[in-house]
Amino acid sequence: MEGSPHAIAAGFATGIGISMFPFFGYHMIVALAFSWTIGGSMPAAAIGTFIGNPWTFPIIWMLTLQVGNLILGISDSNKVISSDVLINEVLVITDILRSFFIEGDTESFRIALKDMELIPAMTVGSIPLAVLSWVLVYFTFRRIVIRYQKIRSIKLNKTKTRQINTK
């Protein structure tokens, strides 16, 4: 992958961080936009979003709900995360955003937010998880990319030297 260590690491970390949010279906778009604004690699951001997949989403959802409930002081742990409920709430948010940006309707947002069971707590819980994962992935992956590019550069220089010496 082409790019500076910062760009590749920032893009990858952004994709992973955005995957912590409960707005599946929008991860790729948000990760690409955010990565572009911070000078990250957009292909790396796209790859990073794949951390959110059918095997990892249940774990991510449980973590974000627990952290969100903890932050918000909600002790009701009887909420069951259901993909049907999440999909319904994401569709409601999509309608709300459409109403807000097209019609300027802020009242429907407040009403719909009160009726949501999971997304508000999960969104709050995803913020610290996204920041933590971004920082950990960025600094770890940046070091990996620096090492890889250094090794690759050395190998390319050796190959060029051999080609010059054989001529």
Q: Is the pLDDT of residue 109 over 80?
A: no
* Confidence grade of residue 78 (pLDDT, cut at 50, 70, 90): low
Query: Residue 71's pLDDT is what?
Result: 94
Entry pTM: 0.80
Share of the chain above pLDDT 90, in %: 49
Q: Is the pLDDT of residue 26 over 80?
A: yes
Query: Residue 19's pLDDT is what?
Result: 95
Query: Residue 167's pLDDT is what?
Result: 61
Nearest to 51 by CA among 28, 67, 32: 28
Query: Residue 76's pLDDT is what?
Result: 66
